[in-house]
Amino acid sequence: KKKPIAREKVAVVVLTMSAVPPSPGYGSRDRSEQLRVQHIIEGMHRGMPSGSVSRDIGSSSSASSSAGSASGGGGKVEMILRNFGPLLLKLVDLLNTSWPHIVRVFNTVSTYVSAVPVSVLTAVYGLGLCFFGGYFAASVAAIEAFRQNGWDTTRACLADLNIDWQNIRKAHSSDNTLDENLDGIPDVQQLNKKELLSRKLMLFARTVNPDRVVMALGGIWGGLLGVLATLRLHFALVITLGVSIGNALRKAASVYAAPALARILPPEYHKWISVIIGYVCKTIGISVAWVVQHIISVVQSAIHGGLICSRAVLAILAEHQIVTIDPELSMIDEYCGWTLAAAGIYFQLSTGLGLPFPYSIILFPLTIVEWIIRWVAVF
């Protein structure tokens, strides 16, 4: 039984349909369709059949533009510091308090993960990609783009930032206990919010290495921009394909849907008929494009994951000297990988466009991450 299109696909369709940039001649095409609908309605009043509308309707286009300006001053900066300064200090204190626990959890997870052989982790990753990759297409695309374009640089930048962060933590802890006037009360407790924020900002400026921080942040930002560009290109291609399908459907829809809408709607609302038909056609077209893209993602992730898993399993068998097969000289990895890929494709397509139970509960955190990545890619 076919399942309906997943709700996240519909949400992306609705939110991105208005963001599609106009193509050359877009306004004239819209005007032509409006004239077509108008002639159909006029033909109805004259008793003409809707199919006899001439195909040679002229087109016209119009354009308008507007500009705005914005101004600001130092008062805005002062207002931002006054309103968000206390919040910033609380966030710094919260991060400073929770940082040891974060490091402890990270080290514990790293210890357990590092105890598992890399080949086993690779096999698990490939198996998950083979059977579930199509449900998390944006996440998989982001991981692959980040691994190829930004991971090495980002890892080095994070290591540099960690040096400055450790220095800031030590300086912040020492400053909180400093009592220069020897009155038994730490100096930071005798300052108002504005003075405390100024003191901490100057402490930050004295402690960090600005060149290292700027270079590290620039490297991280460059990696993230590469991932974002990849995702936006991916979504733009889908939306463009959907809009093209919708525009192809619009002419036939105008001929058959305009008379029905003209009979249903009062005459004063007939000017909306062309707009309604246009958006319905685009919605249908983008929905079809999402289904096609989902199938492509399913096939690609299943093939890629199946080959990764099969080669990792062969590496595990070779490590334990159970079977020694060179993937470069044998087709066993290809046969096993393609068999897994066929099973993964069948599993994903047979369950529709949504995760089946209980995987929808188990993988719910990954679903949230997928939603966030798609939202960032669209907006």
For residue 263, what is the enclosing H or E element?
helix 210-264
CA 33 remoteness from chain centre: 34
Q: How far is it, in rounded angstroms, from Cα 40 to Cα 9?
A: 34
| Token duo for residue 370 | 């997928």
Q: What pLDDT does residue 75 have? A: 58
31 pLDDT band (50/70/90 cuts)? low
| Token duo for residue 218 | 């620039």
CB environment 203-233: b (16+ within 10 A), e (fewer): ebeebbeeeebeebeebbeebeebbeebbee
Read off the DSSP letter of residue 6. P
Beta-carbon contacts of 278 under 8 Å, excluding residues fewer than 6 positions away, are: 30, 33, 246, 250
| 289 contacts 238 by C-beta, under 8 angstroms | yes
The angle at the Cα of 217, spanning 215 to 219, to the nearest 5 degrees, equals 70
pLDDT single digits (tens) 83-136: 666 676 677 677 767 767 777 787 787 787 777 788 888 899 899 999 998 888
Q: How far is it, in rounded angstroms, from Cα 248 to Cα 190?
A: 71
| 290 contacts 354 by C-beta, under 8 angstroms | no
Q: Assess whether pLDDT exceeds 80 at residue 268.
A: yes
pLDDT single digits (tens) 140-183: 888 877 877 777 777 788 888 888 888 888 887 888 888 877 78
Q: How far is it, in rounded angstroms, from Cα 374 to Cα 379?
A: 9
Burial of 375 per CB tally in 10 Å (0-12, 13-18, 19+): middle
Q: What pLDDT does residue 228 have? A: 83
| 249 contacts 282 by C-beta, under 8 angstroms | no
